[in-house]
């Protein structure tokens, strides 16, 4: 069985991509970065989601000699010109402090009326082969930002983004409901034909 490595230590992401590949009839041995603990994490120095995804995928493909998938994602707010964007995880200064990031963003948007609170989650997913071949696909989940967080599922900015056509936030959707419409789910599903073509 051909092995494909996903540049993450998040078991949920691995499960999500595995299910999408399996649904498409692709029988691959999908493993996460934890399978290669000697490989250091890659610094995300790109200025777009696609650049960061490619940096991670190429680094992993070179280090392991295997085809590698990586993704990068974040929240893009219309009135902030697409910010926080690639800085979503460290918007408040501390990387990965979801509560601080969320509170800072809500404070910045405090005076913004509902009709101007458009935003979307964006995800770029990249596949890189050891020979340098690369492909990138993207997924997006459009919505509007609530004035206060709501819901206990998800993470990051999920409690304040209400997807188009929904009355609930991403954090009020079950994991299965969110995966069906999420930016990452869309990007991973768009990656299926690429994986089929380049990995088999």
pLDDT single digits (tens) 50-67:
999 999 999 999 999 999
The number of domains in the chain is 1
Please provide the DSSP assignment of 102-135 as one string: HHHHHHHTTT--GGG-EEEEEEEEEEE-TTS-EE
Strands, sheet with 68-77, edge to edge from the N-terminal-most edge strand:
29-32, 3-6, 68-77, 118-128, 134-145, 161-163
| Cα radius of gyration rounded to whole Å, the chain | 17
For residue 17, the domain's CATH number is 3.90.950.10
- Amino acid 176: pLDDT: 87
Bridge partners (DSSP) of residue 108 are none
- Amino acid 154: pLDDT: 85
Q: Kindly report, residue by residue over 99-158, the tens digit of the pLDDT.
A: 999 999 999 999 999 999 999 999 999 999 999 999 999 999 999 999 999 999 988 999
Percent share of the chain, pLDDT over 90: 88
* Enzyme catalytic residues: 72
Give the 3-state secondary structure of residue 189.
helix
Domain around 147: 3-198
Count Cβ atoms within 10 A of the Cβ of residue 41 and give its class: 0-12 exposed, 13-18 middle, 19 or more buried. exposed
- Amino acid 2: pLDDT: 92
Q: Kindly report, residue by residue over 69-110, the tens digit of the pLDDT.
A: 999 999 999 999 999 999 999 999 988 899 999 999 999 999
């Amino acid at each position: 069985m051909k092995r494909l490595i996903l540049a993450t230590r998040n078991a949920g992401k691995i499960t999500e991509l595995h299910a999408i590949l399996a649904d498409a009839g692709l029988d691959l041995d999908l493993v996460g970065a934890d399978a290669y603990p000697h490989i250091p994490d890659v610094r995300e120095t790109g200025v777009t989601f696609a650049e960061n995804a490619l940096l991670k995928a190429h680094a992993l493909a070179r280090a392991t000699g295997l085809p590698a998938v990586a993704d990068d994602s974040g929240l893009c707010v219309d009135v902030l010109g697409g910010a926080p964007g690639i800085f979503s995880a460290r918007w408040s200064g501390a990387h990965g402090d979801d509560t601080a990031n969320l509170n800072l963003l809500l404070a910045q948007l405090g005076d913004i009326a509902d009709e101007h609170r458009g935003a979307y989650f964006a995800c770029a997913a990249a596949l890189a082969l050891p020979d340098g071949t690369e492909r990138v696909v993207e997924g997006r989940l459009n919505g509007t930002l609530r004035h206060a967080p709501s819901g206990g599922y998800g993470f990051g900015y999920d409690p304040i983004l209400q997807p188009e056509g929904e009355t609930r936030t991403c954090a009020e959707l079950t994991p299965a409901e969110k995966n069906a419409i999420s930016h990452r789910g869309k990007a991973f599903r768009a990656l299926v034909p690429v994986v089929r073509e380049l990995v088999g």
